[in-house]
Each structure stands twice: as structure tokens, then as C-alpha cells.
Amino acid sequence: MFFVEAIELEGLGNRSYLAGGRQAAVAVDPPRDVDRVLAAAARRGVAITHVVETHIHNDYVTGGLELARITGAAYHVPAGAHVSFARTAVSDGDTVVIDAELILGAVATPGHTPHHMSYVLSEAGRPVAAFTGGSLLIGTVGRPDLVEPRLTEQLARAQHASARRLADALPDGTEVLPTHGFGSFCSSAQADGEATTIGREKAVNPALTVDVDTFVAELLAGLEDVPAYYAHMSPVNAAGPAPVDLTAPAVADPHEVAARLAAGEWVVDLRNRVAFAEGHVAGSFNFEADGKLATYLAWLIPWGKPVTLLAESAEQLAAAQRELVRVGIDRPAAAATGGPADWLRAGESAASFPRATFAELADQDRGRIVVLDVRRSSERAEGWIEGSVHIPIHQIHRRIGDVPDGTVWVHCAGGMRAGIAASLLDAAGRDVVAVDDAFDAAAAAGLTVVTEEG
């Protein structure tokens, strides 16, 4: 009997996998904090004998090299990937024995990257699962524009061919187990469901239901902005990531917090947006630990700038550190736990700003305020508040000066990104109100929502 265990990276929207039999297992696209994979193997009583990468990742730092070092496993990386470390180069058609009657076979599936490889797990000669990385996802495919702009259309066409190669080669009942598609910006769209098979994908996946020209045109038209930190992930992964250090950072007292702010460093408050709005250290930014912390902090922060973390507990701090190392933010400059009373110097007061709903926004004199929409362009295209200003969240920190004068009522689709933007505006000295509400409530509140069609 075989097993497959998914290891969720919820903040980044990815999955890694541990698969094997009674004695041995393979780790697929492991996260940088490899202790999670080691713990999964220990629970099942199996040895990790192989570690495989589907591709050189653009959205997170891999733990593959370190996991292979710790376990002594063979480290398999696609032969076409240019890397600076010793590895077992994998080519199309290569196979390895994982356990009794359990074989893993490599299938070249270029498209997400030129060198992309999928891996098919077979038991007693019968394909049972396909680890498809950034190739065939649930209802979509991995985006083809992360390697080189001149290759984007070529790779989009390759995605179509690769998806069809998998569909033609594998039985309908074969599980499709992608790495991307659960919130990651490496996916060209988000997963439609949590699980799928080759048979289901044949019925619903555009790569398998429409012709290549239509598929490519629609795929390219729907691509979103690329998170800025992606530019740093592939080089780190190709060079060979260093082991992680998850020990607690140095403790910052109120004077050090103030000094780091004065030096222009980032001080990031990890508490929820409600607590932050009610009281925070002036100049600090709010990236909720329970939100997409790694994605948005890594996207917005100038790469390499020191960051000090403020958390409500040691547990929250440790979880944030774990998430941040996955995107190459390895060591906070300092950290503190508690609340504003613990982080402010004697005589200092906490800063705050109001939160509101769309119904409260509808009651405002629109001539006296600015409505700022920080959603992505694709979200805004589906409808926006008449007269609102649009600056996507990932551009706010560089475009504060583009926000018109007046009290800024900032909104997104649900409240989390509005909280980030409100903290950035508040730190810049703007009067701000965070609209902490679902955008679906805007029209019902009496606000005029318009679309490109009218």
C-alpha cells in the first residue's frame, strides 16, 4: 500500500507532498522549513530516500537541498535547470524505485518553466498519482510568464502541450497533485476545489478542453501582476539555499523600536487589523500574521531592508518567522511581544485610526473624502465604486504621493489588504479610515458600483 500526504503552505498557497510505502518515501517540492516534512516521515515511520523538485521555484525558497543533506536522500532536480550544487539530474523517462512495487517516473512538462518536470507515482505498474508542480493544476495551469518575457507565449503553448501529454498518458482515475493553485501567484488562476483527477481535468481544464490558440490568448489575457520578491526566489534556489535559523530574534525594547523606526527600517505589527487600528506604535505597519503575511510583506518591503516584528505572543512571532523564511526573509533584525504599552517609550501614546463599513462610507460627503481601492486590477475590472481612486496594494508604499488630499477611506475586497494600506498611509501622516467590510456590501449600502461595460 502507498500513501500520499499533502503538506499545506497556506500563507503562500502551495502544497508539498510526502509519498511512499511501508519503509521509504519521496518528498516533492519541500518547503524551506523541512522539520515539517521530517515530522511527517517520522509519524509514518518511513525514511526519506528521495527528494524531487518539479522546477526551480519562483515563489518560495525550497528546502530540498537541506532535506537531502539531513536525510542522505538523493536530490533530484530537472536536468535543464541551471544550479550551482551537486544533484541528480532528472530527464524525461527517468525512474526511481521508492518502495516495494512503488516507482516514481519523470515526465517532461515544460510550460511553467522550460525545464519543468512532473512525476508519476505508480504502484505495481499502475499510475496512481501525478505530482504536477506548476504544470497541470486544478482547473488551470501554472503561469508561463515568470521566466523571461520573450518566452511567455512559447511557454504558454508548451503548457497546453504538456497538460495534454499527461492527460493522454495517464488513466482517468490518476490523482493530480499540483504544488501551485491554492492561492499562489504562480498559478494563472486559483484552484477550483481541493482535489482532482486526470478524468475531471479532461472535462473542466481549459488546457484540455479548448484549442491551443484560444487557450494561449485567454491565458495571457488573464495574467496578474508578479509579486516583486519573485525576482529573488529563483536565484536563491539555483544557488542552493542556506539552512534556516528559526531561533528567537533579539528582543527590542521601546527605545530600540523607536530607533529602528527613526532609521527608516520597517517595524511590522503582526496583530490582527482590529487591534492595530485601535492602538499601535506610530510609524509601524500592519501585516496580519493570520493573513497572507509572507506574500504581502515580501512583495512590499524593499528587498533586504531590516524588519522588526511586533507580535502579541511568542507563538505568533515563531509562526511568522517560519512563514517568512519560506520567502527568504531569514532573520528579523529584532522582535518584541505584548502590545503597544510594551513597545512605547514612557510618555508616548499609541496611534490609532477608525474602521468602518461600506454603509458608513455611503453616509459620507464624497466631496470631502478620498475613496481608495487597493484591489488588483482584475478585481476592479469587475466593478468599482464610482469616483474611487485605484492604486493596487503592492504599489501603495511607492505611491503615497499619488493619493489625493483629504481623509482617505481605503477598501479592498474583504478588509485585510485595506488594513495594510491604512497602516502605510497612517505611518505617512495621512488621515485614514479602514473600510473593513466585504466589497459585495458596497452596492447594497447605496454606493454606485460601475464596471467597464457601464
Under the banding of pLDDT at 50, 70 and 90, the label for residue 453 is low
Q: For residue 410, give the 3-state DSSP assignment.
A: strand
pLDDT tens-digit profile of 392-436?
Answer: 999 999 999 999 999 999 999 999 999 999 999 999 999 999 999
Percent over 90 (pLDDT), the chain:
93
For the record, the C-alpha cell of 148 comes out as: 523571461
Quick check: 265 and 308 in contact, CB under 8 A?
A: yes
Strand 117-123 and strand 126-133: the pairing is antiparallel
Q: Which helix (H) or strand (E) holds 96?
A: strand 95-99
Please spell the DSSP secondary structure of 234-298, one letter per residue. Answer: HHHHHH-PPPP--SPPPBPPHHHHHHHHHTT-EEEE-S-HHHHHHSB-TT-EE--TTSSHHHHHH
pLDDT tens-digit profile of 207-253?
Answer: 999 999 999 999 999 998 999 999 999 999 999 999 999 999 999 99
331-335 mean pLDDT: 97
- pLDDT exceeds cutoff 80 at 357: yes
Q: Which pLDDT score is estimated for 86?
A: 96
- pLDDT exceeds cutoff 60 at 454: no
- pLDDT exceeds cutoff 80 at 74: yes
pLDDT tens-digit profile of 359-384?
Answer: 999 999 999 999 999 999 999 999 99
79-88 mean pLDDT: 97
Please choose, from the candidates 386, 411, 388, 389, the residue with its C-alpha nearest in 3D space to the C-alpha of residue 400. Answer: 389
247-269 mean pLDDT: 97
Please choose, from the candidates 228, 283, 229, 269, the residue with its C-alpha nearest in 3D space to the C-alpha of residue 395. Answer: 228
- pLDDT exceeds cutoff 90 at 193: no
Please choose, from the candidates 350, 367, 344, 355, the residue with its C-alpha nearest in 3D space to the C-alpha of residue 419. Answer: 355
Please spell the DSSP secondary structure of 160-221, one letter per residue. Answer: HHHHHHHHHHS-TT-EEEESS-SS-TTBSS--SSS--BHHHHHHH-HHHHS-HHHHHHHHHH
Q: Which pLDDT score is estimated for 183?
A: 84
Cα 362 to Cα 29, 204, 372, 433, 443: the distances in Å are 47, 40, 14, 13, 9
Percent over 70 (pLDDT), the chain:
99
pLDDT tens-digit profile of 101-144?
Answer: 999 999 999 999 999 999 999 999 999 999 999 999 999 999 99
For the record, the C-alpha cell of 385 comes out as: 465604486
User: How far is 156 from 113, CA to CA, in rounded Å?
Assistant: 10
